[in-house]
Amino acid sequence: MNIHIISILISKDLSLFFRKRAIIILTFIALIFYLVLYFVMPNSVDENLKIGLYSPVSLPVFTQIDEEGLEISPVESEESLKEAVLDGSYVVGISIPADVAEKLSSNQKPTVNLYFTPDAPQEIKDAMEVVVRELAYMQTGQPLAFDVSEEILGQDMTGTLIPPRDRLRPLLAIFIIMMEILGLSNLISEEIERRTAQALLVTPTTVTDIFIAKSISGIGLAFVQAVLIMTIIGGMNRQPLIILVSLLLGAALATGVSFLISARARDFMSVLAWSFPILIILIIPSFTVMFPGAITGWVKVIPSYYLVDTVHRSANFGSGWGDVWVNLLILFGFTAAIFWAGIYILRRKFQ
């Protein structure tokens, strides 16, 4: 192993990568795009149903109910209520008629108006009807004939739910890292097809030097971009060291996959053909974070699951080494196996 040769090879790879100004500018634009995507997503979770209530008479259950998820605000007039609903202040406006008490006491059914915006989904309208009807049952003192015993599974996150944009963090991290598979695979497959790798081997450069140089270039390119994005989107605010380690392992995993692909691919077209199915598979685990429950336990056979899960738990919940060490160990195992397999196959191709 010759450090001088390795550094020359790395600078050659990087200069090849950076030679095309258009690619640099556009890669930069891509990073901006990811950031825009992140920042346009909602930065908070609206956990409560904001309800406006116009009631000319006092209905204690409606105004004093202490139910999680319900936020009922009194409004002075029916007109104000309609305006507030239209400007989006409330998901529904409840208008109680002035004769509600008389009608209820005389066993008549008063009509309660519910105001919605035009874009309110039908399920919300139905849900609000159910909520108001239940409040009316409670107001008229009709008890329920059953009890509910509750058990919270997992950490109760009420009031501290993760906003949709933060659920994107693992997806962005993995997307940036895995997209580098394309660039690196193309770089290596070109060297194989143009036989520049074989040309290098007639110099004092060894196969080991080439692999170390390629590994450093590949890991470096993927890692730096991922760290940059994660820093900007606040993914490094909690447990930065764990995030750095997991991104580094992820970058090494992507590099190992690139070695495997470039051993098979002949040109950029075949790099794409091989890369896309692999990319799709590797990106699947990030959907477990974005859409909890959408994917079941089988997702754990995909190596990138351990990267996604670690980034999600550390960046969004602040999980420490004690919580994620198993993940990191498995990710390391997968990375080592894929990296070794990639080097083994590519070495045979070089020779």
Partner 1 sequence: MSIRRMGVLLSKEFLYGSRNYILVFSIVGPIIISIIVSLIFGTWLAEKPRLGILDEGKSQLVTMFDDLNSIDNLEYNTISDMKGAVEIGAVDIGIVIPSGFDNSVIQGERTEIKAFIWGESMAKSRTIIGVTIANTVRELTGQKSPIEIETITLGDKASIPWNDRLLPFIVLMTVFLGGLMLPSTSIATEKERRTIRALMVTPTSIEDIFLAKGILGFILSFFMGILILVLNKAFGTEPILLIIVLALGAVMAAELGMLLGVYVKDFATIFTIWKSAGIILFAPAIIYLFPQIPEWIGKIFPTYYVTQPIVELSQKGGGWADIATNTFILIAIDVALIFILLFTLRKKQYTVTGE
Footprint (CB under 8 A) of partner 1, residues 139-158:
139-140, 142, 144-158
∠ CA 322-326-331 to the nearest 5 degrees?
A: 130
Could you give the angle at the alpha carbon of 175 between the alpha carbons of 169 and 180, nearest 5°?
140
Q: What is the spatial order of strands in the sheet that 70-74 belongs to? A: 70-74, 49-54, 92-95
Region 27-66 residues binding partner 1, contact defined as CB under 8 A: 27, 29-30, 33, 36, 40, 45-49
Interface map 228-247 toward partner 1 (x if CB under 8 A): --------------------
Tokens coding 215:
């590994």
Q: Residue 161 interacts with partner 1 (CB under 8 A)?
A: yes
Q: Between residues 36 and 326, which has the closer beta carbon with respect to partner 1?
A: 36
Q: x/- binding map, residues 274-303, to partner 1, per CB under 8 A?
A: --x-----------x-xxxxx-x-------
CB 225, CB 183: distance < 8 Å? no
- Show contacts with partner 1 in window 248-267 (CB under 8 A): 267
Q: Tell me how far, at minimum, the Cβ of 194 lies from partner 1, in Å.
A: 12
Question: Contacting partner 1 (CB under 8 A), which of 8, 112, 192, 278?
Answer: 112
Q: Given the complex with partner 1, which of 27 and 246 has the nearer CB atom?
A: 27
The SS3 assignment for 267 reads coil
Q: Which of 289, 284, 321 is nearest to 304 (CA)?
A: 284
In the complex, what is the shortest distance from the CB of residue 91 to partner 1, in angstroms, rounded to a whole number? 9
Query: Count residues contacting partner 1 (CB under 8 A)?
Result: 90
Q: Single out the residue of 269, 322, 348, 351 in contact with partner 1 (rule: CB under 8 A).
A: 269
Distance CA 77, CA 83 (A): 10
In the list 1, 3, 22, 202, the residue contacting partner 1 (rule: CB under 8 A) is 22
Among 244, 264, 268, 278, binds partner 1 (CB under 8 A): 268
For 99, counting Cβ atoms within 10 Å of its Cβ (0-12 exposed, 13-18 middle, 19+ buried), the class is: middle
Of 76 and 119, which CB lies nearer to partner 1 in the complex structure? 119
Cβ proximity to partner 1: between 207 and 283 the closer is 283
The answer to whether 334 and 253 are in contact (CB under 8 A) is yes
Question: What would you measure as the largest C-alpha separation in the chain, in angstroms?
Answer: 102
Among 69, 202, 277, 348, binds partner 1 (CB under 8 A): 69
Instruction: Determine whether 278 is exposed, middle or buried from the number of CB atoms within 10 Å of its CB (0-12, 13-18, 19+).
Output: middle
Of the candidate spans 19-27, 198-206, 211-219, 343-351, the one that interacts with partner 1 by CB under 8 A turns out to be: 19-27
Smallest distance from partner 1 to CB 173, Å: 17
Q: Pick from 35, 117, 240, 323: which binds partner 1 (CB under 8 A)?
A: 117
| Binding flag, residue 193, partner 1 (CB under 8 A) | no
Angstrom distance (rounded) from CA 1 to CA 3: 6
Dihedral sign (CA 156, 158, 159, 165): positive
Comparison of 202 and 269: residue with beta carbon closer to partner 1: 269
Crossing angle of the two packed helices 304-317 and 240-264, in degrees rounded to 10: 160
Nearer to partner 1, 163 or 240 (CB): 163
**3-class secondary-structure state, position 284:** coil
- Closest to 49 in 3D by CA, of 97, 139, 116: 116
Output 114 or 207, the one with its CB closest to partner 1.
114
As a residue count, the chain comes to 351
Of the candidate residues 11, 43, 111, 237, the single one contacting partner 1 (CB under 8 A): 111
Among the listed residues 272, 278, 336, 345, the single contact to partner 1 using CB under 8 A = 272
* Cα–Cα distance measured from residue 174 to residue 108, given in angstroms and rounded to the nearest whole number: 61
